[in-house]
Amino acid sequence: MHTEQLMRAVRVHQYGGPEQLKLERIERPEPREGEVLLRVHAAGVNPLDWKIRQGLMKEYMPRTLPYIPGIEVSGVVEAVGPGVPSDLLGQAVFGGAEKGTYAEYITVSAAALARKPQKVSFAEAATIKGGAMVAWRALFEHGQLAAGQRILIQGAAGGVGLLAVQLAKWKGAQVIATTSAANLDFVRSLGADQVVDYTTTPIAQAVKDVDIVLDAVGGETLLSSLDALRAGGTLISLAGPPPLEKAAERRVRAMFSRGESATPLAVLLETLTRLVDEGKLKVVVGKTFALDDVQQAHVLCQNGHGRGRIVLLVAE
């Protein structure tokens, strides 16, 4: 093995706490048919990453150990595999990657990437796949959100919520959003019509008869989401399966929004690129960390509070 073919990558050898994130030198991968070799600039740190690391997602998102964590990325195409047009070489791109993103180089299907919006940094672009795409699928595919509807977004300051607020406003919905005191002004600045401080105000007191709730929090908050809906309304849960029996008792539709979108990935990513470049969608990075500090990044992410997406800066 030549040293110039080695790269730094974070790997997990067994499920467990943040201490299981090991920064190692491993061999650089080679792109296969349909894949590109991406020089990673930034990797988003999504709550799903620590849930997978902890072994909580084995049923939905199994991993073969050791694995490289991370599901969202931005970078520059360094090489192309068989069947991939060579004009992709040198392009700045963003998207998702099933085989992990916390590494200096990754191989990823060319179809899972799109042109990076020109107006954002690599760090910002790395947050789009795990935020905007998830919000889009939940709002427009599962929720069928239409102009004029009233929607409650729980967890509005987070990596998904902040994009859900903006996309719902873009669609012409009336948006009510929950966050803690520290993020009230931030969520207002995203365009929310009403912002509720969940630390001081029970949701059932402040919000009634909405058409849709997008819940990015889970637990007790998910139960409170049921109280805010009108009969016949829709509860879309992102953090886990919703309480189906309780939902049926209240005559509301409830679903767990996950998996890939029905819209072809390339089309969806291109749409998001356009919205970002047109200034209609603002992406927000919370804290940034170097690859060496990945354990601290996961500790912060696991805490479940804050504003915007945590990002690992790999080559910026």
Please give the residue ranges that form the binding site for ligand NAP (CB under 6 A).
46-48, 51, 130, 134, 154-155, 157-161, 178-180, 183, 198, 216-218, 221, 238-239, 257-258, 301, 304-307, 309
DSSP-assigned letter for residue 312: E
- Shortest Å, Cβ 160 to ligand NAP: 4
- Shortest Å, Cβ 18 to ligand NAP: 15
Give the C-alpha separation, 96 to 252, whole Å: 33
Closer Cβ to ligand NAP, 3 or 200, answer by number: 200
Closer Cβ to ligand NAP, 20 or 154, answer by number: 154
Closer Cβ to ligand NAP, 37 or 177, answer by number: 177
Closer Cβ to ligand NAP, 149 or 154, answer by number: 154
- Shortest Å, Cβ 290 to ligand NAP: 20
- Shortest Å, Cβ 153 to ligand NAP: 9
Bridge partners, residue 195, by sequence: 177
Backbone angles phi, psi at 263, to 5 degrees: -75, 135
Backbone angles phi, psi at 84, to 5 degrees: -105, 130
> Quick one: which H or E segment has residue 271?
helix 265-277
Closer Cβ to ligand NAP, 90 or 182, answer by number: 182
Backbone torsion region of residue 90, taken as left when φ is above 0, otherwise alpha when ψ lies between -120 and 50, otherwise beta: left
- Shortest Å, Cβ 308 to ligand NAP: 7
Q: Please, are residues 132 and 292 in contact by the beta-carbon 8 Å criterion?
A: no
Give the C-alpha separation, 108 to 101, whole Å: 9
Closer Cβ to ligand NAP, 27 or 260, answer by number: 260
Question: By Cβ distance, which residue is nearest to ligand NAP?
Answer: 158
CA max distance for the chain: 64
Neighbours of 206 (CB within 10 A): 17
The residue count of the chain comes to: 316
Backbone torsion region of residue 169, taken as left when φ is above 0, otherwise alpha when ψ lies between -120 and 50, otherwise beta: alpha
- Shortest Å, Cβ 86 to ligand NAP: 33
